Structure 1
């Protein structure tokens, strides 16, 4: 996954590589590609994703940290790590948005490497945590008697640590190979892969680890969970089934077009499909549009995984009410009577399904 397509250009004559995480060097002269409208599109979407993703995921983290003293469920732990992963991801977007706007990389070599690594680590950890949450739901619903024995908090923390270590290790090439290069149009944060091994590695991590395996796990688990839920005599089963369908559908719709575009790009670099200007420009535009569209998925995670849950929503509303009362008390001379609502409120753990 890349911050933006490597060959996205701002002029009609110069190929500008400003955050080319997953693209490979081209030997041929660049085709003419006017991208002023694409530049505006990328900046607009990046800003919206940053604002919405920061607010939504930040609120999830604040709610869970606020109630960390109470009994924490496994679901709370997964939600916290999912929101934290998405926060890491969205916090890199303002830097790339600024680069798109000014046309060069002004933040230095260290930030180029670090942000590239953080960007990809946030992406992979978010995907892997969604997979873990799916497996946990499957275990709880299909094998409820073994949950208390195997799904302990200690085991959950060990799995969480493994997910983060795996994500950081998978993203290590971004830290090692990313660098600032001096191009004709200024300094650029470049991630060029001139080795076939690295090209296949990027294809495997992006398409297989980032889409195919997670999607297969979700489909396999939820295809068995849904029939079990339908048989349960609970008023919430219809809402839960809809939620599960929303999780799988959103993941598929948001990430599949981008992964297809990346795969076509890989085929083009290996001369499997035409490498003429028409194909090249269409693929550049496709990657730019599908990538920015895929990034908006991190804004949906708080809605799908957290705010849909009634218990979590109560926590969030209590927190927001506490902030409002605290702000109001400052203006009214420091009265703290209303702000005590939060401390007196009872906290209920998130349900397993959420």
Structure 2
């Protein structure tokens, strides 16, 4: 099952770190045993924990939103899709945990391509839905009366379909160019583009579409929203904005270090970073391994944010859990009179 690049030794293959799990590149001339051994112990443990927490947490979010879909608004539609995006990550983690432990991809080329593209799709859809929520809050607060009639369920579904199609389109190269290759430590699953253009495309989409442009949109939007909110007395609007800002801040804190590591590795492959080649290579590989793991943990944090900031979400979750597991009692004041009839989450 080895790909066309199984015997390649050129720099294009050597320093390609465009996929999320490529801590096990077999074509590096430097000795990276310490980094490899660290990954074998650290990553399987972390991935297993993140899989459990992420699957349970995001599964609860999906169940709550589906159960109360008759109360859904545009914000809840975005949060539902955020949960689906996170589930795309956690489903693959048991496979990556096994790969991290044995340094051998045993699940075939289709699964290799599928998980690679699903990671890209989940990443871009996650950030795009956060941008949509930010823009939605902006028009609701700054242009309340003129946009109210456009915030319909149909508009939300149409917008969701567009975001998913866009995310899938951006991720197509990941499916096409990811291959199973035969290395010195066993089979690996790696992104091997046919030329440097696709490698540069991958770097640009992740850092520009996935970080710089969304961050710019959010900074500009919230710089206008927050001063306006200071003069408002609407608790509902304050609560929703607080929730969205928390989601955005956590996303960038967990993903930005990984994006920076990818960019530094690109600079290293182009010879733009000077210093001890092997020491720099191993430090960057270690940085990629750690920041990659940090980015993965993000997929189990959104439900925790909902639990702390979403009073109604906690109420709905406890009601559902009481039906599933006898003896669970609600915590805090979650009576019907204590929660306003707004969105399911907030």
What is the TM-score of this pair, normalised by structure 1?
Answer: 0.82
Instruction: Look up the SS of the partner of 2:224 in the other structure.
Output: helix
Structure 2 residue aligned with 1:284: 285
* Of 180-189 and 204-213, the range deviating more from structure 2: 180-189
Cα distance in 2 for partners of 1:237, 1:159 equals 22
Across the two proteins, how many residue pairs are aligned to each other? 320
Shift of 1:323: 1.0
Structure 1 residue aligned with 2:321: 320
Deviations 1:307-334 (CA, angstroms, capped at 9, x unpaired): 5211222111111111124x99xxxxxx
Instruction: Look up the SS of the partner of 1:250 in the other structure.
Output: helix
Deviations 1:238-269 (CA, angstroms, capped at 9, x unpaired): 76665455334322321211111111101111
Shift of 1:353: 9.1
Deviations 1:194-214 (CA, angstroms, capped at 9, x unpaired): 521012101111111111111
* Of 294-303 and 282-291, the range deviating more from structure 2: 294-303
Contact 2:86/2:299 (<8 A) preserved? yes
Cα distance in 1 for partners of 2:184, 2:234 equals 65
Rate the CA distance shift 1:227–1:94 in 2: closer, same or farther, 3 A.
Answer: same
Rate the CA distance shift 1:178–1:185 in 2: closer, same or farther, 3 A.
Answer: same
Give matches, 1:171-210, under 5 Å. 171-193=171-193, 195-210=195-210
What is the TM-score of this pair, normalised by structure 2?
Answer: 0.84
Q: Among 340, 343, 346, which residue is 1:351 paired with?
A: 343
Structure 2 residue aligned with 1:302: 303
Contact 1:138/1:225 (<8 A) preserved? yes
Q: Which runs of 4+ in 1 moved over 6 A?
A: 345-348
Contact 2:71/2:344 (<8 A) preserved? no
Instruction: Look up the SS of the partner of 2:325 in the other structure.
Output: helix
Shift of 1:55: 1.1
Structure 2 residue aligned with 1:20: none
Cα distance in 2 for partners of 1:220, 1:159 equals 22
Structure 1 residue aligned with 2:3: none
Contact 1:219/1:248 (<8 A) preserved? no
Instruction: Look up the SS of the partner of 2:187 in the other structure.
Output: strand
Structure 2 residue aligned with 1:170: 170
Shift of 1:185: 2.7
Contact 2:44/2:101 (<8 A) preserved? yes
Contact 1:76/1:350 (<8 A) preserved? no
Cα distance in 2 for partners of 1:318, 1:265 equals 48
Quick one: higher RCO (CA 8 Å, sep 6+), 1 or 2?
2
Structure 1 residue aligned with 2:255: 255
Structure 1 residue aligned with 2:112: 112
Cα distance in 1 for partners of 2:341, 2:188 equals 47
Give matches, 1:19-58, under 5 Å. 29-35=29-35, 36-58=37-59
Contact 1:254/1:293 (<8 A) preserved? yes
Deviations 1:139-169 (CA, angstroms, capped at 9, x unpaired): 1111111232222222211111010001111
Shift of 1:348: 6.8
Structure 1 residue aligned with 2:10: none
* Of 239-248 and 132-141, the range deviating more from structure 2: 239-248
Instruction: Look up the SS of the partner of 1:233 in the other structure.
Output: coil
Instruction: Look up the SS of the partner of 1:181 in the other structure.
Output: strand
Deviations 1:10-57 (CA, angstroms, capped at 9, x unpaired): xxxxx53xxxxxxxxx6x624444231232111122112111111110
Cα distance in 1 for partners of 2:52, 2:131 equals 26
